[in-house]
Amino acid sequence: MTHDTLLVHGGQPLRGEIRVRGAKNLVPKAMVAALLGHTASRIQNVPELRDVEIVRSLLSLHGVGVTTGERDDELRIDSSRVQQADPGKAVAHAGSSRIPILFSGPLLHRLGQAFIPGLGGCEIGGRALDFHFQVLRDFGAEIEPRPDGVHLRAPQRLRGIDIRLPYPSVGATEQVLLTAALAEGDTELRNAAIEPEILDLICVLQKMGAIITLASDRTIVISGVDSLDGYIHRALPDRLETASWACAALATKGDIYVRGASQTEMTAFLYTYRRVGGLFDVDEDGIRFQHPGRPLSAISLETDVHPGFQTDWQQPLLTVLALAEGTSRIHETVYESRLGLTAGLKKMGTDVQLSEECLGARPCRFEGQNHQHSAVISGSPRLQAGDLKIPDLRGGFAYLIAALAAKGTSRLDGISLIDRGYERFLQKLQDLGADVQLITS
């Protein structure tokens, strides 16, 4: 990752229109799913993101043809000639993404072997990969860790399993779906994640010929089939990016129309946005987010898996609550280290205290584990400019929002990390009237 620096001359409202395209948490996974098909796939509404480019590069290394379709937001993926990638090249192309772990099941089905390079990702809490590999072992894979990464083999066809997740993890649910679709027999996954991006991935797999059903109790049953075809699918819009721009509108006292945004996947966020005081209007093309023109309200907030308030919405909203009138409380129940961004916000004048206690309506899995996963924020209408280092993807955008709201010039180092989840964000900032300057090193 390059350590680009963004100078942000804040204090001006963001006004205007931007567009969001397909979800970061769906598109790269749907690209991986194309490996399972013996005919070509087409995915539409594809954003220009670093994670998309990483997956595209890794697919190409495996002999998969990835070309742009008739529109610039469409990719055509032909995996009819999939082959084993050179491990050295795979390591060089993996980047800081954790998505390569999801190549395991599809490659084991198609080639009988797979290589997974060392993985990175945002440091926001426990996201251990051991569980992924244990699931693959249960399916019948043989796994050998080596210095360059993890080598996997499937001497026989993978077979279905019965598994209950200790926590409804998105990554673990994706791993099971992508592996079970071609496994022999039935797979029953209990306590599964049911985020909108998971449901969209299920739609992709069903279009390919997979037999998948979802019960009301978070149970997914996959009946393995002998082969899958390609798909044609339009990715659902990115609700996490949409929420980030909505928070930017509130923090800067602005007015932003997010074209392409969808209300259906954002009901929990929109409910909370209105509680804080934000205004929004929904039409058939997107959602308009506005500051109310009066002080924002403090709230108590608890993150949760879908359909609760998403953890990825929490960090940008925390910056908004730092500007609200009164004392807010946040209880983070998904990632135990997600409140680490508060260190930078304190430098900008935010009065925030972290706690190991569960400051929510219910205890959570971090109770008694010495994780500072709750925050008390005493709001103030002003932030001061500061020099900060981007900590992670969503925390980085939260810092960006704070810099846009603060008067004076802030310096944000490592801004290129935001490219992973926000398409053309610098251009969008300029379209909204932000005064920013990128300095590369």
Residues belonging to the active site: 122
Q: How far is CA 361 from CA 3, 16, 253, 271, 320, in A?
A: 40, 38, 31, 17, 22
Q: Return the half-sphere exposure (C-beta side, CA atoms, 13 A cut-off) of residue 334.
A: 22
Residue 174 tokens, joined: 């994706």
Pairing of strands 65-68, 74-78: antiparallel
Place of tokens 């997600």: 338
Residues counted in the chain: 441
User: In DSSP terms, which residues pair with 150 in a beta bridge?
Assistant: 116, 145
Q: For the residues of 322-387, what is the DSSP string, one character each?
A: HTSBSEEEEE--S-TTGGGGHHHHHHTT-EEEEESS--SSS--TTTTTT---EEEEE--S--B--E
**CA 61 to CA 65: how far, in whole Å?**
9
**Could you say which DSSP state residue 235 is in?**
P
Residue 9 tokens, joined: 């001359």
Q: Say if CB 423 and CB 48 are below 8 A apart.
A: yes
Type of residue at 331: H
Q: Where are the beta strands (DSSP E) in 154-230?
A: 162-164, 186-190, 211-214, 220-223
Backbone torsions φ then ψ of 437, nearest 5 degrees: -140, 120
Residue 297 tokens, joined: 């309200």
C-alpha angle 17-19-24 in degrees, rounded to nearest 5: 145
Q: How far is CA 193 from CA 170, 217, 241, 327, in A?
A: 5, 11, 20, 32
- Residue/partner pairs of 102-105 with CB below 8 Å, 24 or more apart: 102/29, 102/32, 102/171, 102/174, 102/175, 102/178, 103/32, 103/35, 103/58, 103/62, 104/132, 104/136, 104/141, 104/152, 104/175, 104/179, 105/136, 105/139, 105/158, 105/175, 105/178, 105/179, 105/180, 105/182
Of residues 244, 364, 216, 368, the one with CA closest to residue 310: 244
